[in-house]
Each structure stands twice: as C-alpha cells, then as structure tokens.
Amino acid sequence: MIRIEFALRRKEGMSREEFQDYWQNTHGPLVSRHSTTLKIHRYIQLHTLDDPINDGLAEARGGMEPIYDGVAELWWKSVDDLNAFTTEEGAIAAQELLDDEKQFIDLPNSPLWFAYEYPQVNPTEYMVATQHSPLVKLFFCLRQPKTQSIEECQHYWRTNHGPLIRGVSTGFRMQRYLQVHHCETTISKALTEARGTVIEPYVGHAEAWFNRADLMMLGDVPEATEAMQIAIEDEKKFIDFKRSAMWIGKERVFIDRR
C-alpha cells in the first residue's frame, strides 16, 4: 500500500470555512467520480480544527510552522496502480482534478509527497475521527535537522522514537499511532511540477488518534505530562520544529475499499 499526502493551504481571499466547504462538497465528489479510473483505493480528507490545542502543541515545541487548512490523503494498493495516471483516460481525469484544485487551493504553497505507513500503536485497529465522534486525529508533518540526512532521520524515527512512543502511549491515552515515511515515485516530480509547488516535501508525518478531552488534560495529569516531556525531548534528536507543523483535525471518508 502506498499513499499521497497533500497538505493544503487555501487560496488567498477564502476563509477556512469556505475552503473546507468547497473541498468537501465540490472537490471530494469529483475525486470519487474519478477514483476507478485512477485506481484510488482509499480517500480521506482531514479538515483542520480551529482549536486552542493547536497552539499548545506548537508552544510546547518552541514554535512551529503555521498549520495547514487540511490534508488530502489517498491510497493505492501498489506502486503499479499509479500507472493509471499515465493512461489517456487517467491523464484526462488527473487534469480535471488539477483544474478544480486551482479553484480553492494555493497550489505553490501546498506540498505533496508519497509515503509508506509504519504502524506503531494499535496497528490493526481501524479508526476514523468522524465529525460527530469524540476522536480527533493529530497530524505532525516533520523535517529533519539540517545536520541529518532524510535517511538518518527516518531511521532514528522508526527504530528509536517509535519504540519510545509505544512505551509511553498509555500515559498519553493515545488510541492509535502511525509513522508515515516519505518516499519518491516515478510520478512525484510530474505531480509537483504540474502544481508549481515551491514548498519542499516533508520527511513524513506522524498521525495519532486521541479523545479530544484526553489531549486537553495533557498538562494536568502527571502521567500524561511526563509522557509528553519524554516524547518532546526525543523529538529534538531528529526533528527541526521550526520547519515542521502539528495540528488536530476531523476526517471525512470519501472512498474506502478495504
């Protein structure tokens, strides 16, 4: 399974509410209509919440990049399925999607990248932070310190930080946790060039599901506070916080062919 992460900033002049409404009610159904042609296996929109938790997450790390307005997440069953973009029918579908993206997305400032998942906590559990559930999804897109290579960062993240987080996950009351590591594909360059992307992709992102009430108590419960401090101290070893971003959102499921 391979996936695209498309971190979105809204077009100038749009409110976040206008952006998310267009994305959900106009663009989402368009993606669904072309999903068979493009062999899309799963498609979820993560809609950013305007929530004080976002400021707290950034402040705990000494300041971070501005959060995005949402993330489009699309899955394919295999790399070979990405060849659907190179067929005549696929190229027409992809162009229609791009033309519609221009209506509501600041494309140059919205990076996209391909990635592979590395499940960490509750790896087999299916979990979605739906609009009316108490769950929220935390999205942490990260870049490595300039003294590290991408490979060094991803290796530490996977082999050191992952086990550490698994060990303190109960203190966080974390319900699920995935690492999602950036990778290159044969169509990565074509997709970014077509959008005029000027923002470099991230090394990857962490995603975790929490009950929002549990996140609100992180600073009040000793066990949770200790777990958070342990996590942040280790993050400093492989993450450049100033070039990374973290926020919470709610998921909208459009396609799921599990």
Residue 218 pLDDT level (bands cut at 50, 70, 90) = confident
Determine what percent of the chain is predicted with pLDDT higher than 70: 100
Domains and CATH numbers, the chain: 2-256 (3.30.70.100)
CB of 212 within 8 A of CB of 134?
Answer: yes
| pLDDT at residue 98 in the model | 98
| pLDDT at residue 231 in the model | 96
Beta bridge partners of 255: 43
Beta bridge partners of 207: 139, 178
Residue 125 has pLDDT above 90, yes or no: no
CB of 242 within 8 A of CB of 163?
Answer: no
At 68 the three-state DSSP class reads coil
| pLDDT at residue 97 in the model | 98
Helix, strand, coil % (nearest 5) of the chain? 40, 25, 35
Q: pLDDT tens digits, residue range 179-207?
A: 999 999 989 999 999 999 999 999 999 99
Q: pLDDT tens digits, residue range 13-61?
A: 999 999 999 999 999 999 999 999 999 999 999 999 999 999 999 999 9
Residue 225 pLDDT level (bands cut at 50, 70, 90) = confident
Angle at 7 between CA 67 and CA 201, to 5 degrees: 105
Kindly list the distances between the CA atom of residue 47 and the CA atoms of 4, 16, 69, 120, 224, in Å, as whole numbers in the listed order.
16, 9, 7, 23, 26
Q: Which residues contact 180 (CB under 8 A, 6 or more apart)?
A: 3, 5, 115, 116, 117, 118, 204, 205, 206, 207
| pLDDT at residue 123 in the model | 83
pTM: 0.96
Residue 222 pLDDT level (bands cut at 50, 70, 90) = confident
